[in-house]
A and B are shown apart, each in its own frame.
Chain A
C-alpha cells in the first residue's frame, strides 16, 4: 500500500507531468468559464488524444482539467451571473449580488479558496477511504461485478434532471447502442446492416463527442454571437480578493461541513455535483445566523456551495475507481478514458493499478492548488474568453473534435458517425432527454452483458447466490424503491 502510494504520487513530480497538469488546469479553467462547455466536455474532446499515451499522464491531464472546471465556472457565475458549469448555479445566488454591490473581488477570493481547499480536502477523504474499500473489492468475482454494474444501471433514472421516464428511455437507448457489433460470447454480428465498419460497434470516442460536445457546438453555431451578451460588464476588481480569502477561514467550520457533505453526496452514484452544491447551499442557509440575507449577497452562500463543489470530486472518484460505477456523467466519460487505456475500473483496478489510483488522488490535490494560484492571478483576464464570438470558436472546436475522432483509430467513418450521432445528441439536449444517462447505459451495457455471460458459464443460473451479490441486489432494489415508496407513504399519510 505505502509502496504504491509513494510510486503513484512521485510520478506526479516529473517535469512532463507537472507541465501537463499545469496546461490541463488552464484548459479546464477555460472550459469551465465557457458556459455550455465543462470539464466533462474537455474530457470528451481530449480523450482521443490519450490513445497511446502513458495511462498516468492521460489520467493526470483529464482529472486535472475536470477537477478545476467548476472553479472556472464559478468565476462567470459571480461576475456575469452565468454559471459556466451546472454546479456553479448555486454560487450565483449570492455571488452575483455581491458583484452588483461592488464586492466581486471578495466573492471571487472566497470562491477560489473555498473550492480549491474543498478539492484538496475531498481528495484526502478519498485517500482515507481507498484502504477501507480494498478488502471488500478483493472479494469481487464476475457475478458480483455483474450486479455492481446492474446497480450502476439502476442509477440511470437518477442522472436525469427532469422526467425520470425520459432518463430511463435515454439509458435504454444507450444500452441498445452498446449492443451494436459482435456479440462477445457468440461472435454474432448485431445491428451492423452489413457494414464491416460497424462490426466493432460504435466506439466510445465518437459516441462521447457526439453526445456531449457536438450538441454544444451546434448550439453555439445556431445561437451565434458571443457567449456573453453585448453590454454586459465583464470586470473584476482585485482589491478585496484577500478579504474573501480571509472570509473562508472566518467560516472554516461551515467550509469543513460542506466539504464533507459534498464528498458523501459525490460518493452516491447517479446523484452528482448538481445535487451536492444545492444541499450545501441549503445547509449553509439553514445554519446561518443571517438566513434572511441569503440571495442578497451573503458570503456564506458562496463558501457553502463552493466548498462542496470541488469536494465532491474526491467522493465521486471512489465508486468510479473502486467499483466501476460512474457517479456522474463526467465520471462515465472518465470511465471511458480508462477503457481506452485498457484499464477496467472496478474491483480489479485497486488490486492491479493501486499506484494509478494514488496518482489520481495526488492529481486532485495538486490541480486544485494550481487552480487557486492560477485563478488568483488570471481570473480577471480569464473571463474575457466569454467575449470570444461563437462564430470563431465553433469551427475551431469542430475541427479539433474531427481530428480527435479520426486519430483514435485512423477511421474517417468514425468522424461521419460522430457527426450523424450528434443530431441524436442535439435532439436529446433540446427535448430534455438525459445525455449522461444515455452514455452511462452505453458504457455499462456491454460490460453487463459480458459479466452476465461469464457468470452463467461459470456458476450456472444460481450465480446470484453469493453474499455480496445478494447484498448488491438488496441495495439496488432499496435504491430504486426508496423514493417512490417514501413519497407514496407521505401521500397516504397526508
Chain B
C-alpha cells in the first residue's frame, strides 16, 4: 500500500501545483475559494506524504511493500486481469463511439460475455436483453434520441 500511496500522493501534489499556478492568474473573486482549497489540500497531501515516507522507513514497511510487490509481480494473472479490465473499458468507450448505443452496447455485452463464458447461451441472451432495453425501452417507448455512432451518423 505504501508505495502506491506515495505515487498517488506525488501525482496529486503535481496536479495541485499546476492548479495553483493556473488559479493565481484568475480574477480575485474567482480564485478566492479555489486557492484556499488548493493550499489546504497541498498542506495535507504533503503531511500525508511525509507520514507515509516516515512510516515506510521506520517500521520497515518499505521492505514489506517490496515483498508484497514481489508477490504481486509473481501473480501475473492478477496483473493481467487489471490490464484486461482497463482494455475492456477502453473497448467499451470505442465501441460506443463508433457504433452508438443501439449497436455498440449489445456488441460489447456479446464480446465480453463470449470472452468470459464457455457457452453461447448467455452470450446470446444478454445482448438481446441489452438490445431490447436500449432500442425497445429508450428509442421506442421513452422516445429518447440516442447517439448513433460515428459510423452510422446520418
Chain A contact residues, CB within 8 Å of chain B: 163, 165-166, 168-169, 172-173, 175-176, 179, 183, 185-186, 188, 190-191, 218, 221-222, 224, 389, 391-392, 394-396, 398-400, 402-403, 406-407, 410, 412, 415-416, 419, 422, 427, 430-432, 445, 448-449, 452-453
Let me know if A406 and B8 touch, CB within 8 A.
Answer: no
Q: Which of B100-154 contact A (CB under 8 A)?
A: 101, 105, 108-109, 112-113, 116-117, 122, 126, 129-130, 133-134, 138, 144-147
Let me know if A448 and B33 touch, CB within 8 A.
Answer: yes
Closest 4 CB pairs of A and B: A391-B116, A172-B41, A188-B30, A395-B112
Whether, in the assembled complex, B82 has its beta carbon less than 8 Å from a beta carbon of chain A, the answer is: yes
- Residue of B whose beta carbon sits closest to that of A219: B85
Whether, in the assembled complex, B4 has its beta carbon less than 8 Å from a beta carbon of chain A, the answer is: yes
Q: Which of B67-88 contact A (CB under 8 A)?
A: 78, 81-82, 85, 88
Residues of B within 8 A of A163 (CB): 48
New A-B pairs, 16, CB < 8 Å, besides A169-B45, A406-B147: A165-B47, A166-B48, A168-B44, A172-B37, A172-B44, A173-B12, A176-B38, A183-B30, A186-B27, A218-B85, A221-B85, A222-B82, A399-B134, A415-B96, A431-B4, A445-B37
Residues of A within 8 A of B134 (CB): 399, 403
Residues of B within 8 A of A165 (CB): 44, 47-48, 51
Query: Given A175-B37, A224-B116, A395-B108: A402 and B30 within 8 A (CB)?
Result: no
Q: Which of B34-78 contact A (CB under 8 A)?
A: 34, 37-38, 40-41, 44-45, 47-48, 51, 78
Residues of A within 8 A of B99 (CB): none
Closest beta carbon of chain A to B136's beta carbon, Å: 13
Let me know if A395 and B113 touch, CB within 8 A.
Answer: yes
Residues of A within 8 A of B81 (CB): 222, 224
28 A-B pairs (CB sep. < 8 Å): A169-B44, A169-B48, A172-B41, A173-B12, A175-B37, A176-B38, A179-B37, A191-B22, A218-B89, A391-B116, A392-B113, A392-B122, A394-B112, A395-B112, A395-B126, A398-B89, A399-B109, A402-B105, A403-B134, A403-B138, A407-B144, A410-B144, A412-B97, A415-B96, A419-B93, A430-B4, A431-B8, A452-B33
Question: Whole-angstrom distance between the alpha carbons of A399 and B96 in the complex?
Answer: 10
Question: Whole-angstrom distance between the alpha carbons of A185 and B81 in the complex?
Answer: 47
Residues of A within 8 A of B44 (CB): 165, 168-169, 172
Residues of A within 8 A of B51 (CB): 165
Question: Whole-angstrom distance between the alpha carbons of A406 and B138 in the complex?
Answer: 11
Residues of A within 8 A of B146 (CB): 403, 406
Residues of B within 8 A of A427 (CB): 8
Q: Given A389, A400, A402, which contacts B96 in the complex, CB threshold below 8 Å?
A: A402
Let me know if A419 and B112 touch, CB within 8 A.
Answer: no
- Residue of A whose beta carbon sits closest to that of B137: A403
Q: Given A218, A398, A407, which contacts B138 in the complex, CB threshold below 8 Å?
A: A407
Q: Which of B1-23 contact A (CB under 8 A)?
A: 1, 4-5, 8, 12, 19, 22-23
Let me know if B33 and A188 touch, CB within 8 A.
Answer: no
Residues of A within 8 A of B129 (CB): 396
Residues of A within 8 A of B1 (CB): 431-432
Residues of A within 8 A of B85 (CB): 218, 221-222
Closest beta carbon of chain B to A394's beta carbon, Å: 8
Let me know if B12 and A169 touch, CB within 8 A.
Answer: yes
Q: Given B27, B29, B47, B147, which contacts A453 in the complex, CB threshold below 8 Å?
A: B29
Residues of B within 8 A of A169 (CB): 12, 41, 44-45, 48
Closest beta carbon of chain B to A464's beta carbon, Å: 16
Let me know if A186 and B41 touch, CB within 8 A.
Answer: no
Query: Given A403-B101, A412-B96, A431-B8: A396 and B109 within 8 A (CB)?
Result: yes
Closest beta carbon of chain A to B134's beta carbon, Å: 7
Q: Given A222, A224, A399, which contacts B105 in the complex, CB threshold below 8 Å?
A: A399
Residues of B within 8 A of A402 (CB): 92, 96, 101, 105
Interface centre among A165, A412, A416, A432 (most CB of B within 10 A): A412
Question: Whole-angstrom distance between the alpha carbons of A179 and B23 in the complex?
Answer: 11
Question: Whole-angstrom distance between the alpha carbons of A176 and B1 in the complex?
Answer: 25
Question: Whole-angstrom distance between the alpha carbons of A453 and B33 in the complex?
Answer: 10
Q: Given B5, B30, B113, which contacts A190 in the complex, CB threshold below 8 Å?
A: B30
Let me know if A172 and B40 touch, CB within 8 A.
Answer: yes
Question: Whole-angstrom distance between the alpha carbons of A400 and B92 in the complex?
Answer: 12
Question: Whole-angstrom distance between the alpha carbons of A117 and B23 in the complex?
Answer: 52
- Residue of A whose beta carbon sits closest to that of B29: A186
Residues of A within 8 A of B22 (CB): 191
- Residue of A whose beta carbon sits closest to that of B122: A392
Question: Whole-angstrom distance between the alpha carbons of A148 and B47 in the complex?
Answer: 28
Let me know if A179 and B92 touch, CB within 8 A.
Answer: no
Residues of B within 8 A of A452 (CB): 33
Question: Whole-angstrom distance between the alpha carbons of A222 and B105 in the complex?
Answer: 20
Interface centre among B34, B48, B130 (most CB of A within 10 A): B34
Residues of B within 8 A of A175 (CB): 33, 37
Let me know if B113 and A391 touch, CB within 8 A.
Answer: yes
Closest beta carbon of chain B to A431's beta carbon, Å: 6
Closest beta carbon of chain A to B10's beta carbon, Å: 13
Closest beta carbon of chain B to A263's beta carbon, Å: 33
- Residue of B whose beta carbon sits closest to that of A402: B96
Question: Whole-angstrom distance between the alpha carbons of A166 and B41 in the complex?
Answer: 10
Interface centre among A422, A431, A448 (most CB of B within 10 A): A431
Query: Given A166-B48, A406-B101, A406-B146: A176 and B19 within 8 A (CB)?
Result: yes
